[in-house]
Amino acid sequence: MPTYKAPLRDMRFLMNEVFDFPAHYTTLSNGADATPDMVDAIVGECARLCEEVLAPINLSGDLEGCHFDNSVVTTPKGFKDAYDQYVAGGWQGLSHPTEYGGQGLPMSLNLIKAEMMGTANWSFTMYPGLSLGCMNTIMQYGDEAQKNVYMPPLVEGRWSGTMCLTEPQCGTDLGQIKTKAEPQADGTYKLTGTKIFISAGEHDLTENIVHIVLARLPDAPKGTRGISLFIVPKFIPDAQGNVGERNSVSCGSIEHKMGIRASATCVMNFDNAIGYLIGLPNKGLEAMFTFMNTARIGTAVQGVAHAELSYQGALAYAKERRSMRALSGKKEPEQIADALIYHADVRRMLLTQKVIAEGGRAMIYYASQYADHMTNGIIENDQKKYEYWDDKLGFFTPILKGFLTELGLESANIGMQVFGGHGYIKEHGMEQIARDARIATLYEGTTGIQALDLLGRKVLLQSKGKAVRDFTADVLKFCGRHARDKQMRRYVWDLTKLCAQWNYLTTRIMLTARKDRDIVSAACNDFLMYSGYVTMAYFWALQAAVAYEKLANGGAEQAEFYQAKIQTAEFYFERLLPRAAGHAGSMLSPSKSLMQLDKDAFAFG
């Protein structure tokens, strides 16, 4: 079983030396308390919680799973105690307003916290994690009464929240939802319908669960234009905001899943359940995207988390396990064979895991600063500020979610490969990581949905290619600053060519789509993966530039740390970045080879 150790040196390198979080926090209205000492203490204490409390129940939670009995869901042994410690530490309200009992710190700290928790125990992290989107939705779209009733217990962690969107007949296509909401004389609504795949829909960790539910009013327009959003609590709060009578919402069953087995994935039945409209009628989808963007970034964190945990397990094993001799000669002549880490192909696998974990972490941290500004827009009631940063973050969201979860799954599979046959055995914990990682590419929108969102909506429809032009302009500014630096020349040259190619590919697809409408769907997956590899290349070049500067002028870390960063960046540019070329060639292929085969010719009986 991999023993999780929070990668604090890499985290502090990114926060303090690459992205200058201390300076960033001075620009935020809620950043005054995020001093370097405070942030360091928070990160260190969270690492302790993850290493000592959450990680030890990761494997046991998977083996035991959740228990279901007559609508009651019980989490695995140790989860309730761990959750109580989590609540006692004030972790749930880390980045939520002090007026509701939170600590009021920037949202980025919550994402950093989520990465450590998710790496230590993703199943556990999903319980408090789902509450965050619920809290953000109520905070942005709820009225004052709703905020005063629901935010304090949610921020404390005494209550938890869910998102109830999907139904048996529809997944991502929410225009098909059938759950009904009938208005009542007292201003409430009665909701009837069934929701599926509801993470943390029922459990024994909190005294109440607040469901955010999509449903249709009787006179609602068809499709996505006729969806409203409702708050449906498991127990209806009384006048004082305490838990009151039981609502008519219940768990019909829990899913038996490939992975994240300690996280309850529920079928939720609403039988004339009392609900409260949040936001405007028939505008629920707009409000829901607050929830979804939060969830998608959280899922992107999962890609990094599984890459990191699998890497830690594989690295320790590769240093201890001995097999054959290295082709370049004996490395450990006193031993019967050399350790796996001396074999070039094993190093290829380990370095692939390393660049995914550390490169993905850099991408998340960069985006987290956008999330800070976006959240400040909500806190300050500045709609223009919110929309500006939401649009900028929106371009990265599908790349982060789609690309990082695909690479996180790749890293998890590589970890098993390093272990060989032992990686297939439960007691070593590596196959659990692969099973847990598999869902990340599916929920909150599959990779294909993320790709369509990126290319079809964010790049072509909304910005006419401007989203790509804006980001590549920032990358080219970086290239300009380092153009005369001999050590950075290879990175600058590659990135400059890639920026030009990325814009060219975008324009070509845009023009081709005028005659071949299927090209957008045909090209979108390759476009997303290409975008991901180029984006990660920029962040590896950025880390290399900082490492070179610190080697020359001194930094917080030892020289060996910075040298390792440079060598890892070299590996990424030489071994992983060339994958982008294949995606570039594939995305420009006409859609004909995909669409010409008759549906009855796919198989012959």
By annotation, the residues acting in catalysis are 444
At 275, phi and psi to the nearest 5?
Answer: -135, 165
d(CA 17, CA 488): 18
Report the relative pairing of strands 72-74 and 67-69 from DSSP bridges.
Answer: antiparallel
Q: Could you give the CA distance from residue 236 to residue 303 in angstroms, rounded to a whole number?
A: 36
Report the candidate in 538, 559, 539, 541 with the shortest Cα–Cα distance to residue 550: 559
* Spatial distance between the Cα atoms of 541 and 515, rounded to a whole number of angstroms: 38
Q: Is the dihedral of CA 162, 454, 96, 120 positive or negative?
A: positive
Can you tell me whether residue 121 is helix, strand or coil?
coil
Q: Are strands 265-277 and 67-69 parallel, antiparallel or unpaired?
A: unpaired
- Nearest CA among 11, 37, 50, 122 for reference residue 368: 11
User: Amino acid letter at 446?
Assistant: T
> H/E/C letters for each residue in 24-66?
HHCCCCCCCCCCHHHHHHHHHHHHHHHHHHHHHHHHHHHHHCC
Provide the b/e sequence for 474-491 (b: ≥16 CB within 10 Å): ebbebbeebeeeeebeeb
Nearest to 174 by CA among 282, 294, 280: 282
**Contact by Cβ (8 Å): 216, 226:** yes
The secondary structure of residue 327, as a DSSP letter, is: T
State the Cα–Cα distance between residues 558 and 229, nearest whole angstrom.
52
How many beta carbons lie within 10 A of that of residue 534, not counting itself?
A: 24
Show Cβ contacts of residue 72 under 8 Å, excluding neighbours closer than 6 positions: 202, 204, 251
Taking alpha carbons only, the member of 357, 318, 306 closest to residue 572 is 357
C-alpha closest to that of 577 among 519, 470, 493? 493
- Using DSSP, state whether 522 is helix, strand or coil: helix
Q: What is the DSSP letter of 273?
A: E
According to DSSP, residue 574 is labeled I
